[in-house]
Amino acid sequence: MNEPRDLVLRHLSKCLRAAVAGSDGLDFDGDLKRDYGLTSLSLMLLITSICDEAAIDLSDFTEDDIARLRTPRDIVAMLMSAGGRPL
């Protein structure tokens, strides 16, 4: 389970600005919008990058799947549900 967690936090760290030093300092249960300031569009940029690297088809997820994303943990859960495909 560490691998998807690292993947998500690494991408989140990359898309944040200088105030966050690295993925170590990120809260796995932090609110993506409230705590990390992601807008709806920047959240989708993050998800797109993660899915690209993980070779998961983003369009396989439903609108509800995407609407439920609040924290990095939620993203990992969504990725893990992706048709049983390994990350």
Q: Which range of residues in 1-9, 16-24, 73-81 is near other proteins by CB under 8 A?
A: 16-24
Rg (CA), the chain: 12
C-alpha 4: how far from chain center: 9
Name which position in 3, 27, 29, 35 contacts other proteins (CB under 8 A): 35
Is 42 a binder of other proteins (CB under 8 A)? yes
Nearest CB to other proteins, comparing residues 15 and 87: 15
Which residue has tokens 């569009």? 41
- Least distance from other proteins to the Cβ atom of residue 23, Å: 11
Residue (of 26, 24, 19) closest to 72 by Cα position: 26
